[in-house]
Structure 1
Amino acid sequence: MEIELLVKLTSKAWSLKILSLLHSGVPGRQAALIAATGASRTSFASSLAHLGQLGLLEKNPGHGHPLRPEFRLTKKGIEAAAMAHRILEAVPDDAAVHLLRRSWVVPILAVTGTPQRFSNIRSGLAPVTDRALSQALSILEDQDWLKRDIIVSARTPFPIYHAANTGWHINQAIGLSV
């Protein structure tokens, strides 16, 4: 998966959870998915529409049995759903899963598999603002998913960031070669 698609995918709070549930066999019906995610109807509908716009999810064509799934994964969506499932499995407890719903958390972890400077992370995640990136880095560092080291061997010391602990496992689950 390209970083641009990952950024777009994670811009809606419930996208990863919806894809993961579909991957794990939850029926592609709106009621079942809403119940399994615990999302509000409005945010769920927004995430579902977003997945459709990205071409990862489609309405099931035709008429049929009332238990027929309303939505199904596309070929591209099957790959994204497997990745979303791996990401959610990498998080040790449900209390930390809420962090994955923040917009820049997963893309930052995707690009910090190797030590990166702030400017490299920003250029790798082109639409991110300095403020949003700084806040996300701080949150990830507080959660201990990201490690910040200061390189003092250069003329001007500078920080570098790299995924650690659960952040490293999420980076590996994404499998993005950046």
Structure 2
Amino acid sequence: MDHLIEMGLVERNPGYGHPLRPEFRLTPMGGTAAAIAGRIHHVSTEDDLPLLRRSWTLPVLVSLHTPSHFSDIKRNLRTITDRALSQSLKSMEARSWVCRSVDGAARPPRSIYRAVNTGGAISQVTAPEIRFS
């Protein structure tokens, strides 16, 4: 929940809820993300829903609206850990949502990630409307 607060998608509802069980509400950007999630459901299949429901899938796909290096994605998503980003990219690569290629011209060689197939469709749906920072 903390990373959703840091990303600006949800906030504590002041004056409501017990201190140990606080109540949360969507921010305006969270409302936009919720509307996008409703449209994404039509883009993906039932098999894609478990991956889509993971906490970092949508933010990573938004950052992949253009091909990016690992460090560029991490810079766009300040609160993500290296491990979470790596696992997210690997799981999306396994589902063929993300394609990883190696830039052999760079020294040392660097991986470039781009959204493809369902991941590309989701990335294009979300990219113009929302930016996670």
TM-score (norm 2): 0.75
Corresponding residue of 2:27: 55
Corresponding residue of 1:42: none
User: Once the two structures are superposed, what CA deviation does each residue of 1:146-167 show, in whole Å capped at 9, x if it has no partner?
Assistant: 0000000112111010100000
Corresponding residue of 2:99: 147
Between Structure 1 and Structure 2, which shows a larger proportion of strand residues?
2
Corresponding residue of 2:43: 90
Secondary structure, counterpart of 1:156 in structure 2: coil
Aligned-residue sequence identity (percent) comes to: 39
Secondary structure, counterpart of 1:149 in structure 2: strand
**1 CA distance for matches of 2:33 and 2:53?**
16
Q: Is the 8 A contact 1:6 1:107 kept in 2?
A: no
Once the two structures are TM-superposed, the CA of residue 142 in structure 1 deviates from its matched residue by 0.3
1:110 matched to 2:62? The reply is yes
Q: Is the 8 A contact 2:8 2:27 kept in 1?
A: no
Corresponding residue of 2:17: none
1:134 matched to 2:86? The reply is yes
Q: Is the 8 A contact 1:144 1:165 kept in 2?
A: yes
Change (3 A) 1:8 1:103: farther
Change (3 A) 1:114 1:81: same
Change (3 A) 1:122 1:76: closer
Q: For the pair shown, which has the larger CA radius of gyration, 1 or 2? A: 1
> Structure 2 counterpart of 1:126, which letter?
R
TM-score (norm 1): 0.57
Between Structure 1 and Structure 2, which shows a larger proportion of helix residues?
1
> Structure 1 counterpart of 2:40, which letter?
I
Secondary structure, counterpart of 2:113 in structure 1: strand
1:171 matched to 2:123? The reply is yes
Once the two structures are TM-superposed, the CA of residue 8 in structure 1 deviates from its matched residue by 5.1
CA-based RMSD = 2.7
Once the two structures are TM-superposed, the CA of residue 7 in structure 1 deviates from its matched residue by 4.5
Aligned length: 116
Unaligned runs of 5+ in 1: 11-45, 57-74
**1 CA distance for matches of 2:35 and 2:68?**
27
Once the two structures are TM-superposed, the CA of residue 76 in structure 1 deviates from its matched residue by 7.3
